[in-house]
A and B are shown apart, each in its own frame.
Chain A
């Protein structure tokens, strides 16, 4: 899964194609693909610059 996310982070166009069902990820189940696409819609920020 690490490699898949890394690849998608570097190729955001592919995320759009996956959402439009114009592409699919080989070796990734439908449920995993749904989990991946949902994660691209969730907030990944470490809120409010807590680290500062």
Chain B
């Protein structure tokens, strides 16, 4: 685990331990869920930290608490998403009713932590947190409705669902340092979320199991492409999506069509469009090289 991850992790431990208004039962679940999250790292908290560090002259140690607060919000959204999608095997899916309370506690603790911080511009940070969290919830609602079935509406949906959370993380760091936000950082922040979501969508097609978007009749860019092709494989997938009882999905033919028919390439192309847009925007922002390098790793 890297040093910054460890600092955010430590801040999370302290936040959970010091919250006096939660019971032993809630606290132990919070700790357990946080431990599972630790394994994937704290990318959102790090986005916040690096943007704060890039624009501040004097580092306020409270930034680790704010980064931890962002991670609490992200974890609460992940838990709710997993409970809604029923496609993961994290421990929170075993006790959905209890896990919902943990997610609610995390959400409240997130804004409470920012409010309790010593930053001059914390009220703007809370406003950003609330605005972008609501935008993400809007995107999640659209995703669950499964009605975004073309390129434009699908990208708008993932921009809200995923782009809002990455943009929020960057902007909170920036605003705590400067007291103001910039449109460039909001823009590439959003693009990072879009890129990561498209990568996840491609990843979802790599397993023929409960997480496979195609088996779950979900829409994503490669699937939108596949459904538009009008060939035999495409038609059988259309029939499957339309609940045609005679629909038959040939695994090998479908995989072959996704890889050799252009569906994955199409998704990669759209991801690349956002990659180049993000890199272009990033070039116009005066931030230090450490922050830039971290962002480039997420963009590429």
- Using a CB–CB cutoff of 8 Å, the interface residues on chain A facing chain B are 1-2, 5-6, 8-9, 31-32, 34-36, 38-40, 42, 44-47, 49-52
Contacts and interface: CB of A to CB of B under 8 A. Distances in A.
Contacts of A44: 259-260, 264-265, 268
Contacts of B261: 9
Interface of B: 151, 205-208, 224-225, 228-229, 251-252, 254-255, 258-262, 264-266, 268-270, 272-273, 275-277, 280
Contact residues of B: prevailing secondary structure = helix
A44 to B, nearest CB: 4
B257 to A, nearest CB: 11
Among B208, B261, B262, max chain A CB count under 10 A is at B262
A2 to B, nearest CB: 5
Given A1-B151, A2-B228, A45-B259, A35 B207 contact: no
Contacts of B151: 1-2
Contacts of B270: 1, 35
A5 B205 contact: no
Contacts of B273: 31-32, 35
Contacts of A34: 272, 276
